[in-house]
Amino acid sequence: MLGIIGAMDEEVAQIKEKMTDVTVTSVAGMDFYQGKLGGKDAVVVRSGIGKVNAGMCSQILADRFHISAIVNTGIAGSLRAEINIGDIVVSTDAVQHDMDASGFGYRIGQIPRVDTFAFEADEKLRELAIECNQKVNPEIQAFPGRVVSGDQFISDKAKKEWLIEQFSASCTEMEGAAIAQAAYLNGIPFLIIRAISDKADDSAGMDYAAFEAQAIKHSVNLLLEMASRYEA
């Protein structure tokens, strides 16, 4: 069964509308929609914004629904010049950029006593996502790349440049790396799919408001096609 997480109602509402045979289970303030999506078993849920919500949501999917994979869908800020608003990033791996235990000798982003710096996304899921995007969103590109997450909306050019320098990342958002960590600890394949809504710089507030709906449409198109072709 595929687990699909979006942080905001806007990111999952259109996906829920496409589901059939739905039952809803409420846990920890989250509504888990279990049913069929594209003819396949799936659970779709709005986690809420931020890493704690995302991590809790992922663990509930693992414990209560015994999912075979997690896909995180939503929007993000671009960290690479060639990745434009509306384009999509599919994760190669994910890092929590606001984890800082450097005072103990750890690299920024490294979680102490965890045996990996970056959580590797599932290659088969990533290849499927890129293939599906070519079919349903032919006008935009899907870029493989690192996703960095933190409990911050990045709208400062200096912070953007710091993220690029520290992590060589493709986009930044607020949930994906927490989902990646939970998936890693539970031995569950995962993928983060993020449509770009802004450039994560001084224009981010204006760009986000203008392009949020466009970005969500692209990620929803991709995810619906992907769900219909997913094989556990």
**Helical (H) or strand (E) element with 72:** strand 69-78
11 catalytic? Reply is yes
Class of residue 30 by CB neighbours under 10 A (exposed 0-12, middle 13-18, buried 19+): middle
The contacts of residue 78 (CB under 8 Å, 6+ apart) are: 84, 85, 87, 89, 170, 171, 196, 198, 199, 200
The catalytic position among 87, 93, 173, 198 is 198
Parallel/antiparallel/unpaired status of strands 20-27 and 190-198: unpaired
The catalytic position among 11, 173, 175, 225 is 11
173 catalytic? Reply is no
Tell me which residues are annotated as active site: 11, 198
